[in-house]
Structure 1
Amino acid sequence: MKATSVDEEMTPMTLLSRLYGVRPAIRHPVRVRRNVEIPAADGVRLLATHYYPADVDRPPLVLLRSPYGRGNALDQLPKLLAERGYQVLYQSLRGTAGSGGRFDGFVIDSADADGTLSWLRDQSWFGGVLATWGASYLGFVQWELAARHIPEWKIAVIQDAPSAFAEHFMYPGGAFALGNALGWVQLVDTMFSGNFSLTRQLLATLTAGRTLRRATLTLPLEQADRALTGHRVNWFQEWIAHGPHEEYWARMDHRANVERMPPRVHLQGGWYDFFLPGMLEDHARLLATGRDVRLLVGPWGHGKGLYTREGMRDALAALDAAMTGENAPSAVRVFVTGANRWLDLPGWPPAHQPTSWYLHPGGQLSRAEPRPEASPSRYRYDPGDPTPTVGGTAVSMSSGPKDNRAIEARPDVLTFTTTPLEADVEVIGPVRVRLHARSSIPHVDYVARLCDVSPRGQSLNLCDGIIRLNQDSDIQGEARTMDIALWPVAHRFARGHRIRLQVSSGAHPRYGRNPGTGQPLATSHELRASDHEIFHDLDHPSALWLPLTPGAS
């Protein structure tokens, strides 16, 4: 199928090239062909924009596939790549930005990739060398692309996108990620209803936060999409109708495709990105298959790392090396928060000693073992007034480290804090918490959040985790033991600072509140409060485990 309504235009040097100091040694003039029609394997018409250097014959092609529209004023990456000597095919997935068919959330129709690859191979300007690039959804589609063998594929540049969707994003710890799910529904609805207009999207952000907060409190939850957008959203209804381990999620699980990924993969993530745990698991899987993998983790929230000097330069270096066959840095590079420095590591996680910090009465946290007899700490959780959260791994511009003192002052949040540190404590790797707890009802959540407390009292969140307990039997009077996996960290607690652990039963709206009834998530409309005891005696040693790095205090 030939392109229709095709323009050709010269473009000026991109703002990104200047801003991030990545001007090419040879700056190629760039032309753009718009509204290029590509037939999917099932005949659906897909639209794309083709950027290419005017003075290079059949250069390597970088493929970007997106549901978020293409070619707006802020979208400078394709031009940046083209002026460096690459072709870029920027395609809109089915049901988005003029492409035919129906968009289905995170379920990607395989006919899109099958048709696009067949079409590419028939183009006289395609030189048989392919790279892929993209963040978030644009990274997720790269994992689906590997469902088929692609000999032309040399490198995948993936930011903030794991191979599987449900486990860490939709149901982390078994709890539904309500705020992130509805935040994405709102984002997509704004784009679709605004016909992908950047101006309309920016105007919609003025009231988006208030509307989203109201929607997250909707009961029953099956009405939340209507409260947010005014209409039913099919994929949101599917998300809340299927639990984390149901067969439904297999359509969004591409972990089995790791064997067909290209020989080089560049993974980029952020300490405050909700996709990071899944990406780290992918990193290990890729290494096990013999891929050459570069992992870069910075002090960023979701989607923010690429548009930084460190992120852009690292990704471009990997792309250039893959196209020329040269060696590129592999291994791991991480940003150590608190120390404000980049650190090169031979692998992830680095060598470390899991070190226990025990919870004690009176909100104390220390290396000392618990006393034989110690009264438990208590709080009451009311889902009618759910414990809030700030910052962290949220689909929001407010993600990242935030002052938690207002939340810590609530009666439904326990804090356990060390004395001021006598020396720096540097931790790099996985973090976990073990709680021994008793609740008045069987259906409860437990949330653990790690914070760094400055000498002035500011409490900044570093990472958190949740576990949802749903049992049919009445366990009133019984203590339960649970392990909570928090997000990994690379952080230095400075001398004079304090280490703090928050314990609660909610983090709304990041995690949807547990109504306490055991009723189905979508239709539950009753809320039950619960009383909790956190044990920290010698027989029930609740503790925080931090990955102490060799040589650290």
Structure 2
Amino acid sequence: MRRRRAHPLAPIGRRAVERFVGLPAGTTDYAWTRDLRTPMRDGTVLLADLYRPRGAGPLPVVLIRTPYGRRTVLGRLFAIVLARRGFQVLLQSVRGTFGSGGAFRPWTAEHEDGLDTLAWVRAQRWCDGRVATTGASYFGHTQWAVAPYADPPLVAASMHITAARVRDILAEHGVPVAINGLGWSDSIARQELPFASRLLSGFRVRRRLVAALRTRPLREADVALLGAPGVFWRDLADHNVPGDPFFDVADHHRAPLDRMPPVNMVTGWWDLFLEPQLRDVTRLQAAGVPVRITVGPWLHGASPEIREVLRSDIEWLEHHLHGGPAPAGPPVRLFLQGAGTWLDFEHWPPEGTTTEERFLAPAGRLDPAAPDAAAPSAFVFDPDDPTPVPGGPLLAPPGEQADDSALGGRADVLVFTGAPEPADLDVVGEVWATVFVRPELEHADVFVRVDDVDEHGTSRNVVEGIRRLEPSTVPAEDVEVGADGVLAVRVELFPTAYRVRAGHRLRVVVGGGAFPRFAVNLGVAGSQADAVSGRPGRVEVLHDAAHPSRLTLAVLPDAAQRTAPASSAS
């Protein structure tokens, strides 16, 4: 345990952090104690740094558990901002990272290690027994690993850009999210290198990442990218399939909620955690747990998203630990993209919406009513030339909204475009597609994307989703097999709050994959991670009275009456 004296330039750095967040200068002088040893039940010792107001007696503790380092920008960003506002913060490196003992096997040790850390914190003389938690992404999930189980309960939790069930972000409806998995494996492998080495290798990796995802077999993509096997990527290759229990230890979406503390959340419409995080909100609300969430127009970890995380955290923790006023306004705050305004609601999904349907029709039309009779449309998905789909909810740039007009010129997708909207259309809530398909192969994917086409013909993505079809998962609740053998596939798309402006057109794109976001379906039986060759497959999409393939939208009328200034969106 070492006490750290402040560097002469430290006040300048601290003020720069506060200006980045958009906060006034903090006024609390604090002591920084490094490398506190926190013992786990198996004898492993994890290291932590304590930020503590000088001269204070026992205080509540804000616990942050992270794999990304205690003295990196991200780790210290949270700790310093809170410490300068009078909070006592314990920042711990999880098992196997930045000096903590043991091996880092993502998500597998956070439940037991988190509970052991919590017990240790409460036994320290500088803790008054009250503990709250905060953090984003992985160190949001470390809170889910503890919060439902803590006894006595936590005072409050701030679980940002994260989800209770890890499997939901490793794969979407059976399809591994390949670029996020391999990209994160790389960042973890390099994160403890010296800064210059990390920076240079990062440039090289970004250039090679997409090419590495073309590796056959796919499990060797880590060697192609990193030069050696990566533990996390190999766990994905071995266990990221429906029914495998390996990641069950990181599944807290069925945890009892009777001890769950009040929860504060921030996420973004382009954040990879968005869909499962909003499901968590619905479950917390149904259980009567006080929960607030802000959803902005952000990609995972974008600077505006992190600023909102920190600003909301200060208000949340001031209320629950220092007796400050409760956060004002309704608990659900959504940024309406395309309109530049905020919408406030009491619940998620939002109250007051209606559903509208748009039907896939012949000649690439998207109509308000189903066609009576029509021949099916078809595409062929070739795993050796997977459909390149730009943008979307990725872990890092180039995610978000992108110009994907070039998709319309490819033979491996079907494009259905509606008439110009006569008035602004506010899509707010859940979105899904029901697609009737007759795939040639038993192993195939159905990918659906909804686009906004402007008056110049430029098409930009709004939401998307995918469903893997294979004998072990068909039929299912979301896939019905008709008497004629046609599959009715419900594809859950990401939720959104998005204004399609008058004169713009909705477009639905249907294909057999979205590379490099999703792992390519090779169309063969057995382990997709170990296959070395694939088969092209033809997929018929039916759109007639008996097979009404359609898009279903939650639409909010009169959104202009529910708006607020968009000042905190960036």
TM-score (norm 2): 0.90
Q: Secondary structure at the match of 1:239?
A: helix
Alpha-carbon distance, 1:230 to partner? 1.9
Q: Which shows bigger deviation, 153-162 or 7-16?
A: 7-16
Distance verdict in 2 for CA 1:138–1:310, change over 3 Å: closer
Alpha-carbon distance, 1:247 to partner? 2.0
Q: Which shows bigger deviation, 56-65 or 89-98?
A: 56-65
Superposition pairs of residues 307-386 of structure 1, within 5 angstroms: 307=305, 309-325=307-323, 326-329=325-328, 331-350=331-350, 351-370=352-371, 372-386=372-386
Q: Which shows bigger deviation, 15-24 or 57-66?
A: 15-24
Q: Partner amino acid for 1:186?
A: D
Instruction: Give deviations 1:375-427, integer Å, cap 9, x for gaps.
Output: 22222110000001211111222111111012332111221111221110011
Distance verdict in 2 for CA 1:485–1:402, change over 3 Å: same
Q: Partner amino acid for 1:89?
A: L
Superposition pairs of residues 143-222 of structure 1, within 5 angstroms: 143-146=144-147, 148-151=149-152, 153-166=154-167, 168-192=168-192, 194=193, 197-222=194-219
Q: Secondary structure at the match of 2:471?
A: coil
Q: Secondary structure at the match of 1:257?
A: coil
Q: Partner amino acid for 2:326?
A: N
Q: Secondary structure at the match of 1:356?
A: strand
Q: Counterparts of 1:210 and 1:519 in 2: how far apart (Å)? A: 31
- Whether 1:248 and 2:246 are equivalent positions in the alignment is yes
8 Å contact from structure 1 (residues 63, 130) kept in 2:
yes
Q: Counterparts of 1:456 and 1:332 in 2: how far apart (Å)? A: 35
Distance verdict in 2 for CA 1:91–1:32, change over 3 Å: same
Instruction: Give deviations 1:56-107, integer Å, cap 9, x for gaps.
Output: 4333321110111121245422111000000111100111001111111221
Q: Give unmatched runs, 5+ long, in structure 1.
A: none
Alpha-carbon distance, 1:214 to partner? 2.0
Q: Secondary structure at the match of 2:128?
A: coil
Q: Partner amino acid for 1:122?
A: A
Q: Counterparts of 2:305 and 2:56 in 1: how far apart (Å)? A: 27
Q: Secondary structure at the match of 1:415?
A: strand
Q: Counterparts of 2:547 and 2:101 in 1: how far apart (Å)? A: 59
Residue number in structure 1 paired with 2:286: 288
Residue number in structure 2 paired with 1:479: 486
Q: Give unmatched runs, 5+ long, in structure 2.
A: 475-480, 561-570
Alpha-carbon distance, 1:111 to partner? 4.1
Superposition pairs of residues 532-551 of structure 1, within 5 angstroms: 532-551=539-558
- Whether 1:276 and 2:274 are equivalent positions in the alignment is yes
Residue number in structure 2 paired with 1:44: 44
Distance verdict in 2 for CA 1:185–1:40, change over 3 Å: same
Instruction: Give deviations 1:243-283, integer Å, cap 9, x for gaps.
Output: 22222221111123352554310011111112112111111
Residue number in structure 2 paired with 1:528: 535
Q: Counterparts of 1:152 and 1:374 in 2: how far apart (Å)? A: 59
Aligned residues: 543
Q: Counterparts of 2:321 and 2:216 in 1: how far apart (Å)? A: 53
Q: Partner amino acid for 2:62?
A: V
Q: Partner amino acid for 1:202?
A: L
Superposition pairs of residues 389-404 of structure 1, within 5 angstroms: 389-404=389-404
Alpha-carbon distance, 1:307 to partner? 4.5
Q: Counterparts of 2:188 and 2:306 in 1: how far apart (Å)? A: 25
8 Å contact from structure 2 (residues 269, 496) kept in 1:
yes
Instruction: Give deviations 1:272-318, integer Å, cap 9, x for gaps.
Output: 11211211111122223322110111111112266455443223222
Residue number in structure 2 paired with 1:505: 512
Residue number in structure 2 paired with 1:441: 441
Distance verdict in 2 for CA 1:7–1:199, change over 3 Å: same
Q: Counterparts of 2:466 and 2:439 in 1: how far apart (Å)? A: 16
Q: Secondary structure at the match of 1:145?
A: coil
Q: Partner amino acid for 1:253?
A: D
Identical aligned residues as a percent: 35
8 Å contact from structure 2 (residues 296, 305) kept in 1:
no
Distance verdict in 2 for CA 1:190–1:405, change over 3 Å: same
Q: Counterparts of 1:165 and 1:417 in 2: how far apart (Å)? A: 35
Q: Partner amino acid for 1:187?
A: S
Superposition pairs of residues 60-99 of structure 1, within 5 angstroms: 60-73=60-73, 75-99=76-100
Q: Partner amino acid for 1:208?
A: V
